[in-house]
Amino acid sequence: MPLLLGLLVSAVHRELLPALPGAGDSTTLLVWLFALLVPKLLAVAAAARAARLVLTGRPAMVGPRALLRLSAVAVPLAVHALYAYAAYGDVVDQLAQASPLLSIALGALPAFLAEWIRIAPAAHAAAWCDLADDARGAAAAFVPVPSRVALRGFVRLRRGGPLFVLLPVLLLGAGLEAVALDRSLHVLALVTTPGAIAGGMLLLFAIVVLLPPWFRFAFAVQPLPEPPAAALRATARALGFPPHRVQQLPTGMHALNAMLVGPLPFGRTLCLTDGIVRELDADSLAGVVAHEVGHAKKGHPTLLLTLVVVVPLLAMAPLRLLGVESMDQLTQAALALVAAAVAWLAVRALAHRFEHEADVASVAALGSEPCARALLVVSRLAQPAPHGWLGRVLSLHPDEPDRWRTMRRYESDPGFRAAFDRGSRALRAGIAATALAAVGAAAWAAAVEWPREAVVWRLHAGDHAGALRLAASLGEVPPHWRDAWPRVAEDLAVAQALAPAATDWASAKAELWPAAWTRGVDVLLAEGPASARPWLAMALGAIDTATPVQRALLGWCEAAADGDPDRMAAIGDVVRRLGVPPRLKPAFAQ
């Protein structure tokens, strides 16, 4: 969670709160890089205080677990500090220039770095805090120190998280880097609804294909140990699951769990943690395997992927037609919170249902006893789950008594079994209807948006002649285009003036640079920065690298066109610090 929040902060700064162009400064950046050490230092302090509490019994004013939580919160805060006070986003732009992969990798680097160096002390602190909780109030003269081997396994488990999250980040960057090799394809993917949907689906497919092997690498998955390995492989084979894909997840004996990894059938892995392999007997482990294979047979990973990822991805296109983007930020935030709450409750209800379906699949395969016994042992050994309203809302698993009752009734009550199966079929029909509705809505939105998106695509792909011809055939501007279309019209005017006959990117690029920049400087001096924006934007769009001064000048003109005098003044100070070009000194005279 600290890493994901850090990546969210990075995305917000990159997309919604961009740094002033040209404001990046290496000296300031080096100073603020030390902020990334704060989460680690807090975790070290938490481990030291927890160890002192265990060994001396003397509590501190600020408890170790509070410090540990604070170290997690410090990760996104450190990322925010780097972006907000060191203009890290501009440093990324300067270094990455036209490379999407480098831009995404550098943008995510602070969150990964802060969490990676925090993990080891945080894992030690968590182990000592658990030991302090166990020893609280005990009169034992001897308290066992956490095993180095167990802690090493726990740290390795924790570091698997960042490695696992790295996969979609790198795939996104690599995908954008690949399409950037072809200007037309790159613009199609970035500015059109069909291109964005197709690109999103291709990225999703790449992720789900690579996810199982990447999970095995990230978490150092191992073969199952003997003697349970042979029996569990035989159980998997009998249930129709590839036996060689039943493996052990090392956690330093810190977790009692099992999981099915992989949304699609090919490459799936069934992982049992070392803790559950050690604590459960052969029959109970067979029940756990039957439960996880039940998830696979019922298609739960694919159904969840469809509802949680595919449907929202398709729904983004029609939402734009509803004018959501034109609402004020407070309304957008409120709608986002409501949508997130409703989505979470729906996912929670679906996850609970899927757990029951996997349980009854285990009952159908082996009877209720093995899975019920496994639940009983795990519930006794695991840390007690919070049973307040918040714990119930956040839990994706039903309570154990509900699961036991459902399994017993499914096994012994034919009427309940028939009703349960009817409910499963109805649920799948509902999911299929939702997915089809999302596909239809996305297709409708793409058809509605295409005439104007095609103009933008052709314009920035270098087919100026085609863009001008299409734009001339369009009718009245739709309401949700009224803010964006004037900018497109300004860019079309630049294309009309400099390269109206261009039909490909090579010819358009040669006509735009440096002619558009020279013309933009003339317009800036004669008519002001707002009028110069389209000329400078088209010019810098035609080159692979831009100097800090050039990017700052474009940002200054964009702020003027947006009617943002505060940002304009701040960027103006940056231009003066970098050095105003001689021709533009009259425009920046105090």
Residues 272 and 338 both lie in one domain: yes
Domain containing 462: what range?
A: 458-588
Q: Is residue 428 part of a domain?
A: no
Report phi then psi at 483, rounded to 5.
-85, -35
pLDDT at residue number 193: 93
Instruction: Give the pLDDT confidence of 48-65 residue by residue, as tens digits.
Output: 888 887 777 677 677 888
Q: What is the DSSP letter of 271?
A: E
Read off the tokens for 109. 């680097």
Q: Is residue 426 part of a domain?
A: no
Contacts of 211 (CB under 8 A, 6+ apart): 167, 261, 262, 263, 267
Residues 156 and 231 both lie in one domain: no
pLDDT at residue number 381: 64
Instruction: Give the pLDDT confidence of 328-380 residue by residue, as tens digits.
Output: 667 777 777 888 888 888 888 898 999 999 988 888 888 878 887 787 777 66
- In whole angstroms, give the CA distance from residue 90 to residue 19: 6
Residues 211 and 232 both lie in one domain: no
**Residues forming beta bridges with residue 273, ordered by sequence position:** 249
Place of tokens 């499963």: 424
Read off the tokens for 549. 């001064």
Band (pLDDT 50/70/90 cuts) for residue 522 is very high
Residues 70 and 204 both lie in one domain: yes
pLDDT at residue number 212: 92
- In whole angstroms, give the CA distance from residue 116 to residue 492: 47
Q: Is residue 422 part of a domain?
A: no
**pLDDT above 70 (res 390):** no
Q: Is residue 431 part of a domain?
A: no
Residues 173 and 226 both lie in one domain: no
CB 208 within 8 A of CB 263: yes
Place of tokens 């934007």: 537
User: From the centroid of its chain, how far is CA 279?
Assistant: 34
CB 359 within 8 A of CB 371: yes
- In whole angstroms, give the CA distance from residue 151 to residue 135: 18
Q: Is-cis flag, bond preceding 213, omega within 30?
A: no
- In whole angstroms, give the CA distance from residue 122 to residue 177: 35
pLDDT at residue number 480: 83
Residues 160 and 52 both lie in one domain: yes
- In whole angstroms, give the CA distance from residue 123 to residue 148: 12
Instruction: Give the pLDDT confidence of 2-33 residue by residue, as tens digits.
Output: 999 999 999 999 988 889 998 988 889 999 99
Residues 525 and 584 both lie in one domain: yes
Helix ranges restricted to H, 461-587 = 464-472, 485-498, 505-512, 515-527, 529-540, 548-562, 565-578
Give me the mean pLDDT over the 410-415 stretch. 91
Residue that terminates a domain, selected from 381, 412, 443: 412
pLDDT at residue number 141: 45
- In whole angstroms, give the CA distance from residue 111 to residue 291: 36
Give me the mean pLDDT over the 514-521 stretch. 94
List the one residue out of 72, 40, 47 whose CA is nearest residue 128: 47
Read off the tokens for 72. 């997690």
pLDDT at residue number 461: 95
Band (pLDDT 50/70/90 cuts) for residue 525 is very high
List the one residue out of 107, 80, 88, 71 whose CA is nearest residue 29: 88
Read off the tokens for 76. 């996104």
Residues 197 and 254 both lie in one domain: no
* Residue 373 falls in which region: left (phi positive, over 0), alpha (psi -120 to 50) or beta: alpha
- In whole angstroms, give the CA distance from residue 257 to residue 554: 54
CB 114 within 8 A of CB 39: yes
Place of tokens 């997915």: 435
Report phi then psi at 7, rounded to 5.
-65, -35
Q: Is residue 25 part of a domain?
A: yes
**pLDDT above 90 (res 73):** yes
Band (pLDDT 50/70/90 cuts) for residue 147 is low
Instruction: Give the pLDDT confidence of 278-337 residue by residue, as tens digits.
Output: 888 888 888 888 898 999 999 999 999 999 889 989 988 888 777 666 666 677 777 778
Residues 176 and 252 both lie in one domain: no
Q: Is residue 443 part of a domain?
A: no
pTM: 0.87
pLDDT at residue number 267: 83
Band (pLDDT 50/70/90 cuts) for residue 580 is very high
CB atoms within 10 A of CB 372: 20
Q: Are strands 269-273 and 258-261 parallel, antiparallel or unpaired?
A: antiparallel
Residues 490 and 577 both lie in one domain: yes
Band (pLDDT 50/70/90 cuts) for residue 140 is very low
**pLDDT above 60 (res 389):** no
pLDDT at residue number 393: 57
Place of tokens 């998997």: 236
CA angle 219, 222, 226 (to 5 degrees): 150
Band (pLDDT 50/70/90 cuts) for residue 139 is very low
Q: Residue 151 half-sphere exposure, CB side, CA atoms within 13 Å?
A: 18
Residue that terminates a domain, selected from 197, 218, 239: 218
Burial group, residue 373, by CB count within 10 angstroms (0-12, 13-18, 19+) = middle
**pLDDT above 80 (res 143):** no
Mean pLDDT of the chain: 88
Q: Which of 132-136, 240-244, 462-466, 516-520 bottoms out in mean pLDDT, i.e. has the lowest?
A: 132-136
Q: Is-cis flag, bond preceding 479, omega within 30?
A: no
558 compared with 256, residue with greater pLDDT = 558
Place of tokens 């490459």: 267
Read off the tokens for 428. 């799948």
Q: Is residue 417 part of a domain?
A: no
pLDDT at residue number 60: 67
Residue that terminates a domain, selected from 192, 218, 244: 218
- In whole angstroms, give the CA distance from residue 10 to residue 2: 12
pLDDT at residue number 329: 65
Report phi then psi at 222, rounded to 5.
-120, 165
Residues 361 and 390 both lie in one domain: yes
Number of domains in the chain: 3
pLDDT at residue number 53: 79
Q: Is residue 427 part of a domain?
A: no
Give me the mean pLDDT over the 406-411 stretch. 90
**pLDDT above 60 (res 142):** no
Residues 232 and 207 both lie in one domain: no
Read off the tokens for 548. 């800090």
CB 277 within 8 A of CB 248: yes
Burial group, residue 78, by CB count within 10 angstroms (0-12, 13-18, 19+) = buried
Q: What is the CATH number of the domain that holds 241?
A: 3.30.2010.10
Give me the mean pLDDT over the 211-232 stretch. 90
102 compared with 341, residue with greater pLDDT = 102
Instruction: Give the pLDDT confidence of 423-449 residue by residue, as tens digits.
Output: 999 999 999 999 999 999 999 999 999
- In whole angstroms, give the CA distance from residue 232 to residue 533: 67
